[in-house]
Amino acid sequence: MTVLSRLFIFASMRRSPRRGPVPFRSSPLLLLATLACASARPGETASYEQLQASTIFAGGASLLGVLTSGPGNLVLFGGDGDSLAVRYALSSQTRAGLFRNQVETIDKGDSLFVSIRPTQGSRVDLQLEMPEDLAVDLRDDGGRDTVFRNIENRVTVIHGGGSLDFEDIEGPLSIRDGGGPIRIRDVRGPLVVEDEGGGIRITEVQNSVRIQAAAGDVTLEKVGGDVRVQMGAGRLTVRDVTGRLTYGKSGSGEVVVERIEGGVERL
């Protein structure tokens, strides 16, 4: 990631006394700013960079669909407003690449859609601020690192790879991941994870948890419902479960089980 992209995605974080670290709500005038520049280290190809932003009224929408491909990161978080704010940092090996339409937003009334289709040699780092009560469907074909924060509706994710990070999700959370680490904290709805490998860490789920995972360590702590885990090689750690734990392992790895109120069954 370029320095400019890192600043755009992460430098706007501030601390909220209610929810912990959440992205900063920038002013509308700053969001409309556009920057294009060329930079390169000695011996490297020049990279052209640009910041863009737009806002769409989302008062009548119930769903946000996001389709991404190509390199880059994604940060998606719910806010108190009634609009969808789309902010992105685009970098390209050519100046002409900055002026091709690589981020598209579609308003269909009850549904909003954002798609990223980078051209060859381009990268898009995207930040979406949405009304927190929208449901979210994400399909990522590019393996980008993705962060979700403060969503009060269901979240469905089909992810090609890269890291996934979820926190403060009110509704059901369903994940199908092609590989890469997954971190989940503070989910009130039921949780379903299908993972091809990379490791999973889950903390504070008030409902049931169901996991099917390939190789990689799996850790679950503080779950209010039943837990069912089917996994391959890797360490399994489960602590502080109110419901019943059912698990099966088809590969090597230590199993640590502590404080399971509903009992334990091995498949």
What confidence tens digit (pLDDT) does each residue in 29-49 have? 233 333 344 444 444 454 889
User: What is the pLDDT at residue 197?
Assistant: 86
SS3 content of the chain, % helix, strand, coil (to 5): 5, 55, 40
Tell me the mean pLDDT in the region 6-22.
Answer: 38
| pTM given for the model | 0.83
- 105's tokens: 């937003």
Q: How many residues does the chain have?
A: 267
Give whole-number Cα distances, 204 to 122, 186, 209, 243, in Å: 38, 5, 11, 13
**Least-confidence region, from 4-8, 37-41, 247-251:** 4-8
